[in-house]
C-alpha cells in the first residue's frame, strides 16, 4: 500500500544515513588539511572559525562533483561511497567554534566509557596549534582513531539541501539580523560563497527522501542495531 511504501522509503533513508559515519582519524586529517598550505579554506582560524564557516567554505566545495551536477556528503567521499555504520551520533550547534566540536569527539574517543575525567578543554590548544599527529599517536594504541562518529555537517548531503542559498530572508528585524550573521564568515565578515551546483534540493515537502528530518530516527536505528 502507499502507506507501507512511504514507511519503507523513510526507513531505507534512515538506514542509508546511519551508515554514513566517519572515523575520527578522517576528521583529524580533514582538520590538518584546513590548516595546511593548500587549505580549501585559506581564512580558517582554529581559534575562531565556526562549524558554519567550515561547512560553507570547505565541506560544501570539497564534496561537490567536478562537473557541477551536485555532490555527496563529505563522509561519503571520505569512504569512497562505502557504508560505515556510526557508533556515536553527535549533536552540536553550527555557531560554535569548529575546533571545540573536534575536541569533544577526541575527548570522547580518548576515555573509557566509565571515565569522566577527560574533557574537551584540554584538547583545544593541541588541536588549534595543529598538533594532529601528536593527538593521533596518543589515540592510536587503543584503536580510538577508528571510532565511528556521525555529525550532520559531514554526514548529510549539503548539496541536496542548503548549499545554494541561505533560506528565505526573514521580515522580522531581529530574526533578519540573526539570518544576516549566518550568511557571513565569522572571521572575515565576508559573505559565504554559494554553491553553483545544479542538484535538486529536497526538503520536508518530500519527507521520505529528505535528509534533514530523520535525526531522531537515526538515533533509534543505531540504538536498536548495536
pLDDT digits (tens, 9 = 90+) for 180-210: 999 999 999 999 999 999 999 999 999 999 9
Q: Provide the grid cell at 34.
A: 584546513
Residues 151-176 pLDDT 10s: 999 999 999 999 999 999 999 999 99
Which residue in 181, 195, 110 sits closest to 144, CA to CA?
110
How sure is the predictor about 111, in pLDDT bands with cuts at 50, 70 and 90? Answer: confident
CA-based nearest residue to 92, from 154, 185, 23, 177: 154
At 119 the pLDDT is 87
The predicted structure's pLDDT at residue 13: 98
The span from the CA of 57 to the CA of 85, in Å, is 27
Share above pLDDT 90 across residues of the chain, in percent, rounded to a whole number:
92
- CA dist 211 and 187 (Å) reads 29
pLDDT band, very low/low/confident/very high, at 1 (cuts 50, 70, 90): very low
Where is pLDDT greater, at 24 or 116? 24
Query: What span, in angstroms and rounded, lies between the C-alpha atoms of 20 and 72?
Result: 11
Q: Is the pLDDT of residue 113 over 60?
A: no
Q: What is the pLDDT of residue 115?
A: 59
Q: What is the mean pLDDT of residues 50-61?
A: 98
Nearest Cα to 58, choosing from 49, 69, 66?
Answer: 49
| Whether pLDDT at 117 is above 80 | no
Q: Does the pLDDT at position 60 exceed 80?
A: yes
- Listed in sequence order, the residues at least 6 apart from 94 whose beta carbon sits closer than 8 Å to its beta carbon are 50, 51, 52, 55, 153
Distance of alpha carbon 36 from its chain centroid, rounded?
20
Across the chain, what does the average pLDDT equal?
94
Entry pTM:
0.93
Amino acid at each position: 500500500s502507499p502507506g507501507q511504501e512511504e514507511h519503507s522509503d523513510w526507513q531505507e533513508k534512515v538506514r542509508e544515513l546511519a551508515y554514513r559515519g566517519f572515523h575520527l582519524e578522517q576528521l583529524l586529517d580533514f582538520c590538518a588539511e584546513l590548516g595546511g598550505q593548500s587549505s580549501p579554506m585559506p581564512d580558517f582560524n582554529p581559534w575562531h572559525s565556526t562549524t558554519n564557516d567550515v561547512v560553507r567554505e570547505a565541506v560544501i566545495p570539497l564534496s561537490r562533483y567536478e562537473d557541477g551536477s551536485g555532490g555527496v556528503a563529505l563522509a561519503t567521499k571520505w569512504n569512497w561511497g562505502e557504508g560505515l555504520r556510526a557508533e556515536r551520533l553527535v549533536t552540536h550547534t553550527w555557531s560554535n567554534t569548529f575546533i571545540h566540536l573536534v575536541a569533544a569527539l577526541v575527548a570522547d574517543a580518548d576515555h573509557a566509557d566509565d571515565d569522566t575525567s577527560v574533557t574537551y578543554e584540554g584538547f583545544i590548544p593541541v588541536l588549534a596549534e595543529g598538533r594532529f599527529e601528536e593527538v593521533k599517536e596518543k589515540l592510536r594504541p587503543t584503536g580510538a582513531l577508528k571510532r565511528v562518529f556521525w555529525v550532520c555537517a559531514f554526514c548529510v548531503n549539503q548539496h541536496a539541501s542548503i548549499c545554494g542559498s541561505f533560506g528565505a530572508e526573514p521580515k522580522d528585524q531581529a530574526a533578519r539580523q540573526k539570518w544576516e550573521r549566518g550568511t557571513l564568515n565569522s572571521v572575515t565578515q565576508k559573505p559565504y560563497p554559494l554553491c553553483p551546483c545544479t542538484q535538486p534540493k529536497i526538503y520536508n515537502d518530500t519527507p521520505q527522501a529528505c535528509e534533514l528530518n530523520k535525526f531522531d530516527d537515526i538515533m533509534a536505528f543505531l540504538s536498536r542495531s548495536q
